Amino acid sequence: MNDLPLFPLGTVLFPGGLLPVRVFEQRYLEMAKVCLREDTRFGVCLIREGAEVGAPATPEPVGCTARIAQWDMQQLGLLQIVAQGERRFRILERRLQADGLARARVELLPEEGDAPVPERLAGCRALLERIAAEHGERLFAQPYRMDSCAWLSARLAEVLPLPGALKQQLLEMDGLPRLEALGRLVQQQSR
C-alpha cells in the first residue's frame, strides 16, 4: 500500500479487534471523513515517541490497518468511531502532510499462522470465555473463534492489562507463539 494515513494512538489494535476512539483533531476528522466517504482504511500504530494530541507522534513500525465499523457525531467537532482491525503492516516510508497527518508506504505482513488451541492452553480459552460472557459484543466482534490461536490470543492481548510495549511485541507475533506467551503471563499472575 502506497498511501496509508496513520493514526498513532496510545494503544495497540489487533486484526479482528474493536477499538473505540474519540476523534477531535482536525487532521483526524478529515482522515475519518475520507475513510467513511471512500470506504478506505487507515493504519493504527502504537506511539513510540510523543503524544496522541498535538505535534505529530512517532509511531512503532508495525501496526494494523483498520476500517471504521461504527460512527456517531452527537456533538459538532467530536466524532466517536469504532475501528475494526484488519491486517498487520510494516511501515516502509513515512511522511507528514502540512496539517500534521502522517501517511505511509507500508507492506502488509503475511496473514497470521493459525492453529487450534492446544489443550495445554485451554486455561486461556476459559479465561476469555468468562470475559466474553460478562462483556460480550461490547468488546468483541462476532463471530467468536475460541478454537483459533490467532483470534483467541489477539482478544486476550487486547483485554489483559498489559503495558503498551508488551502488547506491541504480541502484535508482531503469530497466533500460537502469542498464545503461549500469554499463557505464561496468565500462569504467573495466578500464582
- Which of 56, 76, 108 is at the close of a domain? 108
pTM for this predicted structure: 0.93
Both 104 and 137 in one domain: the answer is: no
Structural domain contains residue 113: no
Both 96 and 135 in one domain: the answer is: no
Both 98 and 43 in one domain: the answer is: yes
Structural domain contains residue 18: yes
Where in the sequence is the domain holding 65, given as residue range(s)?
4-108
Structural domain contains residue 103: yes
| % of the chain surpassing 70 pLDDT | 99
Q: Read off the pLDDT of residues 105-163 as tens digits, 9 standing for 90 and up.
A: 999 999 887 899 999 999 999 999 999 998 877 889 888 999 999 999 999 999 999 99
Q: Which residues pair with 105 in a beta bridge?
A: 93
Structural domain contains residue 137: yes
Judged against a pLDDT cut of 80, whether residue 167 lies above it is answered with yes
Both 82 and 146 in one domain: the answer is: no
Both 128 and 52 in one domain: the answer is: no
User: Domain total for the chain?
Assistant: 2
Both 95 and 141 in one domain: the answer is: no
Amino acid making up residue 64: C
Both 89 and 129 in one domain: the answer is: no
Both 102 and 125 in one domain: the answer is: no
- Which of 83, 108, 133 is at the close of a domain? 108
Q: How confident is the model at residue 186 (pLDDT cuts 50, 70, 90)?
A: confident
Residue range 36-46: mean pLDDT, rounded? 97
Both 40 and 79 in one domain: the answer is: yes
